Structures are given as C-alpha cells and as structure tokens.
Structure 1
C-alpha cells in the first residue's frame, strides 16, 4: 500500500542539481557559502526542500563526501608499482580541484563547527584507503603497521598542501614510498 506524503529523500535530479551547486560553491567560496539561500539562488530548488534534506552545511558536506568519486584502478599485479601509482593519483587529486580545495573547506568547516570534524576524518580516511589496500597487498601485516605506513606516505603531502600552501611535490612523495618500503623490507 502506498502511503501519501513526501518521499524519504530528494529526487535524483534534485539531489544532483543541489550537490553540483554545493560543490561549485565549496570550490569557489569555501564551506561557509553552503547556505540554503545560496543553494536556492544557484539551483532554483525551494529552500524548504534544501532544509528538509540538508538542514545544515555539515549535512551538505556529508552528502558531497558520500557521492565523491574514489578512483580505484585495477591492480597491475605489481604492488610496488601500484603503490607508486596511488601516490601519483593522490598528487594529482591534491593539485587539481576538487580534492585539495575540498579538504581545505573541510578544515575550515571543522574549525567553525566541531560537528564537521568527523567528516574531515572520514574524507581523509577515504583518501588513505587505497594506500592501506596496496600496502596490505605488498605484504605488510597488522592494522597498525599498515596505517602507520600509509600515514608516512600521505601525511607529508597533506601538510604541504593544506598547512604550508606548497605545491604537491611528486618526487618527495615517491621518496616517502621508497622510505616506507625500505623500512618495511628490513
């Protein structure tokens, strides 16, 4: 039996329209621009619809993270080459929009609203996942060991891009991979 009333979530077209506009706002103006008024002005979607499905900027950011693409190329059979490829992909994603800018917006949103901190953690953990997978394929055993190795590779990139406003240094990232592999092969 069909019950009358509103559907549980926004229509696919509405969701795509609002989230595309939200991403554009985040990339051009930061997370502070994620207001129902701004999204309404960009999309024409009623503010009540926006408030109903995304009541706070944190909810918009969470929705954007949920639909963020996570490119995962097929393993080549050479886990070391795959690890280097993952570093190159992350370097490209941090250099180009939207990952680097989106991460900056999450850092800013987290400082303004502590409820956004778990979103920032979730997004960074998603960035680390391909490294964890590849390091495990290389033969690293133990969750803590894999996590530490992934962080040893990724953390310097994030510090450079997010905190020091430096460009992505691909060579440095590859040296970090070499150091991790050297340390782990001992």
Structure 2
C-alpha cells in the first residue's frame, strides 16, 4: 500500500516535466528560427505534448514565451551572499557571464528583445524581465547597506556590468573572459568610490 501511495506524494511531477519540455522546445525554436517564426503546434510537436495542453496552460504563444524568459532569469545567475559587496558583485558578474553564454542564454536575450517590440504583451514581458532582475539585485544591495557598505544602485549595475555583457553576447563582440568580467566590476567600484569622495 505504501508504494501505491508514493506517486500521490509528488503532485505536479508530470506537470513540471511537461513545462520543462515545452520551455526547452520553445527556447530551441527561438534559437533556430527567431521570434515569430514558429507556432504553438511546432512547440507542442517538439515537446511531445498536445497543442491543446499549451493553450490550456498558457493561452497564447506570447504568454508561453514570457514564462520562458522569466523562468530562465529566476533560475539562473543566483545572487551571492559572500559577506562583501565587492565579492558579491564579482561572483554575480561571473554567474551572469556563465549563464548568458550558456546553451540558452543568447536565445533568451534575443527573445526578450523581440518581445519588447511586440506590442503591449511584449512590453509587459520586458518590464517583468527587468523587474525580476531588479528584485534579485536589490536583496544583494540591501545586505551590503545593512553591513554599512555603500552599494551602487540597480541601474548602475545594469549600466556597468549587465549591459556590456548583454551587448557583447547579442552582437558576438568577443568572449566574456574572466578578466573582462572582472574589469566591468572594477570600473563600477571605481565609479562608486569617486562618487563618495569628499569634494
């Protein structure tokens, strides 16, 4: 009887597998064809599910792709807690570099850009993506402030660290080497130090 009850203690197991398969299928199609060049039916076929399952769960292809982008963001680039703002920034930057150059990173970045120009729903997707990235960073910055450090603002991290990496990846402008990623953090810390110097 105990074995008979085992599956019941893992609700959502199949649902989670289906979601992961659909997400991967959609990501692969974005990478291969670009946004707007495939259908829900093609995502379903590649994921091995019925297209009605996708419509029932997400409603539209755009809603699915928004979920893909947000899920990728929230499950990659973990926010470090090293006890030091500088080490947090260096570790975080290294995590982002690893993830955006990983197998799905470029596809998801292209997807967010495409969605951002795809009408109201796309604009919401972009806003959700950026808001989630902001929420992730804020915890790290709040901890630094509680330790008595003077952290940068979220937009400064975007301008000095994230944007340069995203641009390099999107346009194929060179590898994100550890030295390059560290130099981005160095520039941010230097800018921060200059802004807090007495005049």
TM-score (norm 2): 0.70
Q: Does 1:117 align with 2:117?
A: no
Report the equivalent of 1:170: 181
Q: Name the counterpart of 1:32.
A: 36
How many residues are matched? 174
Q: Once superposed, which parts of structure 1, at least 4 consecutive aligned residues long, lie more than 4 Å away?
A: none
Identify unmatched segments of 5+ residues in structure 2: 1-13
Q: Does 1:156 align with 2:164?
A: yes
Question: RMSD of the TM alignment (CA)?
Answer: 2.9
**In structure 2, what is the equivalent of residue 127 of structure 1?**
133
Asked if the contact 1:88/1:170 (under 8 Å) is kept, the reply is yes
C-alpha offsets along residues 118-152 of structure 1, whole Å, 9 cap, x if unaligned? 2123223333444433333333679xx62333233
Contact 1:23–1:64, Cα closer than 8 Å, also in 2: yes
Closer, same or farther: CA 178–20 of 1 in aligned 2, 3 Å = same
Q: Which segment drifts farther, 83-92 or 115-124?
A: 115-124
Partner of 1:96: 102
Q: Normalising to structure 1: TM-score of the pair?
A: 0.74
Q: Is the 8 A contact 1:128 1:151 kept in 2?
A: no
Is 1:61 paired with 2:69?
Answer: no
State the partner residue of 1:3: none
How many angstroms apart in 1 are the aligned matches of 2:105 and 2:15?
A: 26
**What is the CA distance between 1:73 and its match in structure 2?**
5.2
Question: Would the alpha carbon gap of residues 81 and 184 (structure 1) be closer, same or farther in structure 2, given more than 3 Å must change?
Answer: farther
